[in-house]
Amino acid sequence: MEERRPLLPLLIRHAAAFGRSLCESVFLHREATDYHQPVVECDLAGITFSYETFGEGRPILMLHGWPLDHTQPVFEMERHFVQRSGWKRIYLDLPGMGKTPGPEWVTCEDQVLDLLEEFIDSVIGGDRFVVAGTSYGAYLALGLVHRRAGRIEGVLMSVPGLLQDEELPEFVKTLENREIMETARSEGMSWLEGMAVSQNASLLEYARVLHVTASADAQYLERLYPRRKFSFDAGALPEPFPAPTLILTGRQDSVCGYGGAWELLEHFARATFAVLDGAGHMMWGEQPAVCSALVSEWLDRVERG
């Protein structure tokens, strides 16, 4: 498999050789839950979003990382709904990623947020909703809190991006496994060597999911990268957000760190903040049991209101 041309951000430099098919393990998660419909499209004035839904009930919008697609949060989140009903999970491909095109006129993150609001108005309508994001998706979720706080019933931010510490933690390995890494290299995932903090079997499974996400629009991402932050301070809300919140960070996350995310805490009145040892930016593969336990508890809190 040919490696993709490297882009500017650290994640793109590491995320080489993404394919186009879906990992078998993602399909297994789909089959274990109340899968609703295949990937569909939402036609708006300036873009056509590709997205997928599962279940019925309270809407929860899932936002993936850069430069991946919606299969990442499907893998991370669907496990929590195997025995939990009453939720409509909405997984979309963000602009320029997956099957959603990157419009030439989009040149800054505020415009991406505008498009997300249009998608919400079209697919969710006037209902209240929950939002969950990983890395770049968590940053967008934070932007939605700024604009739609009154309609949002809960927020999950995993390894939130673009809130980096002034000094990021050095990349270290807390658990090494030569067999795991040899398997990764044999499957064309040599990029994992520079990302894996805890080299375990669950990380390998997670890496396989990321490895087969659809290729991103390199020109769009390069164009957006210089203006990848909002025009406003995403980390400073005008008033504390009152709904249940979960912020997950990795103690060894050398991509985004955890200190910048810690500064969010005072703005979220009902937030749980976790810094997981043995976890970097790929914490959903490195510490899946802890992540899942915390997310399940967060979902419980959202349901209680």
| 130-180 pLDDT per residue, tens | 999 999 999 999 999 999 999 999 999 999 998 876 789 999 999 999 999
What is the percent of the chain where pLDDT is above 90? 80
Residue 7 lies in a domain: no
Give the residue-averaged pLDDT of 229-242.
Answer: 95
Residues 6+ apart with CB under 8 A from 150: none
Residue 14 lies in a domain: no
Tokens of 187: 């499957």
C-alpha span between 96 and 115 (Å, rounded): 12
pTM: 0.88
**Would the pLDDT of 111 be above 50?**
yes
Choose between 47 and 26: higher pLDDT. 47
Estimate the share of the chain in helix, then strand, then coil, as percent rounded to the nearest 5.
40, 20, 40
**Would the pLDDT of 18 be above 70?**
no
The pLDDT-based confidence of 26 (bands split at 50, 70, 90) is very low
Residue 279 lies in a domain: yes
How high is the pLDDT of residue 46? Answer: 85
How high is the pLDDT of residue 163? Answer: 85
Residue 46 lies in a domain: yes
Give the residue-averaged pLDDT of 193-221.
Answer: 94
The pLDDT-based confidence of 6 (bands split at 50, 70, 90) is very low
Nearest to 292 by CA among 83, 8, 24, 117: 83
* Number of structural domains in the chain: 1
Please give the order of strands across the beta sheet that includes 48-54: 35-43, 48-54, 87-92, 58-63, 129-134, 152-158, 245-250, 271-276
C-alpha span between 301 and 305 (Å, rounded): 6
- Residue with tokens 């903090």, as numbered in its chain: 197
Choose between 80 and 29: higher pLDDT. 80
**Structural domain of residue 130, as residue ranges?**
20-229+239-304
Kindly report the average pLDDT of the chain as a whole number. 88
Q: What is the pLDDT of residues 33-72, one digit of tens each?
A: 444 445 788 988 889 999 999 999 999 999 999 999 999 9
Residue 48 lies in a domain: yes
Residue 6 lies in a domain: no
What is the percent of the chain where pLDDT is above 70? 87
**Would the pLDDT of 224 be above 90?**
yes
How high is the pLDDT of residue 88? Answer: 97
Residue 79 lies in a domain: yes
**For 198, which DSSP code?**
B
**Residue 268, φ and ψ in degrees, nearest 5:** -125, 105
How high is the pLDDT of residue 38? Answer: 58
Residue 78 lies in a domain: yes
Give the residue-averaged pLDDT of 233-261.
Answer: 95
Choose between 5 and 227: higher pLDDT. 227
CATH number of the domain at 280, please.
3.40.50.1820
C-alpha span between 46 and 48 (Å, rounded): 7
Q: Enumerate helices (H) and strands (E) in the chain, giving the number of each.
A: 11, 8
Instruction: For residue 25, count CB atoms less than 10 angstroms from its CB and return exposed for 0-12, middle for 13-18, buried for 19 or more.
Output: middle
Choose between 18 and 196: higher pLDDT. 196
- Residue with tokens 């999950």, as numbered in its chain: 156
* Peptide bond between residue 67 and the one before it cis (omega within 30 degrees of 0): yes
**Would the pLDDT of 31 be above 60?**
no
C-alpha span between 30 and 303 (Å, rounded): 22
CA 125-70-301 angle, 5° bins: 60
What is the four-CA torsion angle of 109, 54, 68, 166, rounded to 10 degrees? Answer: 60
How high is the pLDDT of residue 228? Answer: 87
Residues 6+ apart with CB under 8 A from 126: none
Which amino acid is located at 233 in the chain? D
Strands 87-92 and 48-54, by their bridges, are antiparallel
CA atoms in the 13 A half-sphere facing the CB of 294: 23
